[in-house]
Amino acid sequence: MAARPTAKRSPRRDDGGEHPSGDPRFKLIDRTLKRFQYQQDALIEVLHTAQEAFGFLEEDLLIYVARQLKLPLSWVYGVATFYHFFSLKPQGEHTCIVCMGTACYVKRAAEIVASLQAEFGVEPGQTTPDGKLSVATARCLGSCGLAPVIVVDGEVLGRETPETTLSRLKALLDTSQPEPMAG
Ligand code: FES
C-alpha cells in the first residue's frame, strides 16, 4: 500500500455542493463526511457508508471520496482493496440492493428480501450461481419518503412491493439472457 499522507485534516472541500448526479445516496456519504469534519482519518468510515449505500465501491465513488477528503486516489484505492470487507464491483451481472433502514423496514422491506430468497435462492450478500444477480441490503438510502426503496443496477426505485420487485427483476434477467443462435 502507498505511504500514508501526513496531513490529518482537510478543513475545506473543493466542490461546494452536492454530487452533480443528484443521486440521493451521495447525500449519505456527504453526511458521514460532515460528521467527521472531512478528516482524512475517517476514510474507512466514509468507505463503509459508501458501500452500504451503493452495495460496492465503483471507481466513481472512490474518486468522489478521494476528492472530498483531499487524498490521492491511489491511497483510497489502496485502502479499498486492502480490506476484505470492501468490494470494488458486484459479482453478478445485475444488482438489487434492498434498503433495510427503519422507514423501509416498517414498510415490508424484509418481505422483499424474503421474496428474492424464495424466487432466486439468494440471500443478501450472495450472487446466483449463474452469476446473473447479486442481492445486498443497505441501511437508509436517503429516500425514506419513497419507502420501501430498492436500487436495481444503480437506479433508485421507491414504493416497492415483493411483487413489483420480483417482476422487475424477472424482466431484467429475461432480457439479459443470451440471444439464441440463428439457424
Ligand atoms: S430507510 Fe430506506 S431510504 Fe431511508
Rounded to 5 degrees, φ, ψ at 100 are: -115, 20
109 lines ligand 1 (CB under 6 A): no
Please state, for a pLDDT cut of 70, what percent of the chain lies above it: 85
Pocket test residue of 27, 54, 149 for ligand 1, highest count of atoms within 8 A of CB: 149
pLDDT at residue 10, rounded to an integer: 43
- Taking residues 23-36, what's their average pLDDT? 91
pLDDT at 42 exceeding the cut of 80: yes
Contact 125, 95 (CB under 8 A): no
Cite the annotated binding site for [2Fe-2S] cluster by residue number: 99, 104, 140, 144
pLDDT at residue 2, rounded to an integer: 47
| Structure confidence at residue 18 as a pLDDT band (50, 70, 90) | low
151 lines ligand 1 (CB under 6 A): no
In angstroms, what is the span from residue 75 Cα to ligand 1's centroid?
31
In angstroms, what is the span from residue 134 Cα to ligand 1's centroid?
20
Tens-place pLDDT, residues 96-152:
989 998 999 999 999 999 999 999 999 888 889 898 998 988 877 778 999 999 989
The model's pTM: 0.64
Whether the upstream peptide bond of residue 148 has omega within 30° of 0, thus cis, is yes
Domains of the chain: 25-82 (1.10.10), 94-175 (3.40.30.10)
- Cα 64 from Cα 112, distance rounded (Å): 31
Tens-place pLDDT, residues 70-87:
999 988 988 998 887 888
DSSP of 58-83: -HHHHHHHHHHHT--HHHHHHHHHHS
pLDDT at 32 exceeding the cut of 90: yes
